[in-house]
Structures are given as C-alpha cells and as structure tokens.
C-alpha cells in the first residue's frame, strides 16, 4: 500500500468540476494542459472519474442546484484527497455572491485545502496551487487523516 500512496503523490490525478460562473477559470485550467504549460510532464492528469482522482479542482460559485453534486463528487473520491477552490467565485462567490441562488464559496459544501485567488486565475497560479495541494495530500497521507 505504501507504493500506491507514494505514486498518488508523485503523479496526481485531478477531477475538475465547474459549479458555474463565467468559465474564465475553466479556460485557464484547460490552458494548463496545452504544450505551453504542459502539466502532464509532472504526471498530473485530468480525468473524468472521481473514484480515481486525488485532487478535486472546483471553479465557480456553489449554488442550491449543484451543491449536492459537488458533495457527491467529494464523497466518491478515495482518501486521502485534496480540494482546490480555483478563482474568486469558488473561494467566496465572487461577483455572484449577492445572487439569490448562490450559497457562496465551495467551502459551504466541502472542506477546501487550497484557495487560489484571482479572476480569472492564471495557469501559473493553478500549477502552484496543485503543488500546494500535493503537499497537503502528502501530509494527510503521513498522518492518516482523510
């Protein structure tokens, strides 16, 4: 089991969920996969199945309709796991914080390990956030906290 946990930290798989918003952060997140930034060289893979993911990357503000879906995605991920709130909307609700259907940041639904501020977030900041999430993931692995 030690080899599997070590490989999870060295080659993280992320699952991305967009709660809504303007999609600016989603475009920047996809820019990380282009040859200019090429996060795959670090072993980071963007996958679609939360049951295989190590890091949940969330963009956009959480609202009443997608809160349950976000919680389900979080619950389906194996422990240890890390959550990244990418952008101001995911962190606090951003420009949508006064909307009647917005709950606020994703920390109202799931615990967040890394907040990445910005509107829209630069790809370099997202990569730095993944590195911070890996540190948190490694700490959770060593202390056996989910």
* Total domain count, the chain: 1
Domain membership flag for residue 11? no
- Residues spanned by the domain of 38: 24-141
**pLDDT at site 26:** 83
pTM given for the model: 0.85
Domain membership flag for residue 16? no
- Confidence class for position 19, pLDDT limits 50, 70, 90: confident
Q: For 73-126, how does the pLDDT look when each residue is reduced to its tens digit (9 = 90+)?
A: 999 998 888 999 998 888 888 888 888 888 888 999 999 999 999 888 898 888
Q: What is the CATH number of the domain that holds 44?
A: 3.40.50.12280
Q: What are phi and psi of 62, to 5 degrees?
A: -85, 140
Please give the DSSP secondary-structure letter assigned to residue 54: S
- pLDDT higher than threshold 60 for residue 5: no
Average pLDDT over residues 55-62: 90
- Residue 122 sits at the vertex; the CA angle it makes with 121 and 125, to the nearest 5 degrees, is 90
**pLDDT at site 4:** 56
């Amino acid at each position: 089991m030690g080899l599997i946990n070590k490989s999870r930290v060295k080659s993280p798989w992320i699952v991305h969920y967009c709660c809504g918003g303007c999609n600016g952060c989603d475009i920047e997140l996809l820019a990380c996969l282009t040859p200019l930034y090429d996060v795959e060289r670090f072993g980071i893979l963007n996958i679609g199945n939360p049951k295989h993911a190590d890091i949940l990357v969330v963009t956009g503000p959480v609202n009443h309709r997608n809160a349950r879906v976000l919680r389900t995605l979080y619950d389906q991920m194996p422990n240890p796991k890390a959550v990244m709130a990418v952008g101001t909307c995911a962190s606090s609700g951003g420009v949508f914080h006064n909307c009647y259907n917005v709950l606020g940041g994703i920390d109202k639904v799931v615990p967040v390990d890394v907040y990445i501020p910005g509107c829209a977030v630069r790809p370099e900041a997202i990569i730095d956030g993944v590195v911070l999430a890996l540190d948190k993931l490694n700490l959770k692995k060593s202390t056996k906290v989910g």
